[in-house]
Amino acid sequence: MAQRPPIDPDMPVDEIMRRWPSTIAVMIRHGMLCIGCPIGGFHTVTDACREHGVAEGVFLAELEAAIAG
């Protein structure tokens, strides 16, 4: 079975939350109030991590874990 590629750090956070709703809890846990934010459609994972002072590698790993279940 082919493995799904990891989340692209250039993907907008809104797209991630829409495709994988389980990622919303990760964002909330990190204090990212991206849910419903008008810039969420433009803010990438990299942008959001920089703005919120979150380590991108750790954050991406947590998103992947949430998607995997």
6-24 pLDDT, tens digit each = 789 999 999 999 999 999 9
24-35 pLDDT, tens digit each = 999 999 999 888
Residue with tokens 């797209």: 15
Q: What pLDDT, on the 0 to 100 scale, is given for residue 34?
A: 82
50-61 pLDDT, tens digit each = 999 999 999 999
Question: Whole-prediction pTM value?
Answer: 0.87
In one-letter notation, the amino acid at residue 61 is A
Closest CA to 48 of 62, 61, 31: 31
Rounded-to-integer distance, Cα 55 and Cα 69, Å: 21
